Amino acid sequence: MTSKTDEKTVLLKGSPLRKELAMTASEAVLPGHLVERVAAGTLSKHSTAASVAAKSFALENESDGSGIDNAYGDGENVIFVTCASGDEVSAILADSNTIVIGDFLESNGDGTLKKVATDAATDDTQRESVVGIALEAVTTSGSTARLKIEVM
């Protein structure tokens, strides 16, 4: 994975609610993935593109010294945060995106984020699917990347 940021942690700024709640991964989840609760005690990558999402992101596992590029395995407890507006995180950007500072971002349906594709009748700032706004510019081609975002 290409890393745009020099950060060693997913949570960059803010005081979001930190949770573990014995939520186990239903699949491999990387720190920085947008996550959702899918069943009692189970967490997965957010699975519906351009839809409403809780602003929850998987964190690195500090207890075993895992870095931000080490995935949680299927069945492992996932440490995650539910962010408030203004919190900043190092999220994972989907492949084939060109992002500039200020772009609105939404779920790509696989735990990654993508640039909001606007509809002529839809105002970006009013879309319920917006998760955050890009704080840096990055282009992905052939791989995913990390991107600093401010949660909306």
Q: Centre a 10 Å sphere on the Cβ of residue 86 and count the other Cβ atoms it contains.
A: 12
Residue holding tokens 């992905």? 140
5 domain-assigned: no
Condensed to tens digits (0 to 9), the pLDDT of residues 8-17 reads: 899 999 988 7
Total domains in the chain come to 1
Q: Which residues contact 41 (CB under 8 A, 6 or more apart)?
A: 21, 22, 23, 24
Q: Which token pair is 135? A: 């704080």
Cβ–Cβ under 8 Å, residues 151 and 130? no
2 domain-assigned: no
pLDDT grade, residue 126 (50/70/90)?
low
121 domain-assigned: yes
Condensed to tens digits (0 to 9), the pLDDT of residues 79-97 reads: 899 999 999 999 999 998 8
57 domain-assigned: yes
4 domain-assigned: no
- pTM for the model stands at 0.87
70 domain-assigned: yes
79 domain-assigned: yes
User: Which residues constitute the domain of residue 114?
Assistant: 11-151
94 domain-assigned: yes
Describe the strand order of the beta sheet including 80-82 as a list of residue ranges: 17-19, 80-82, 56-58
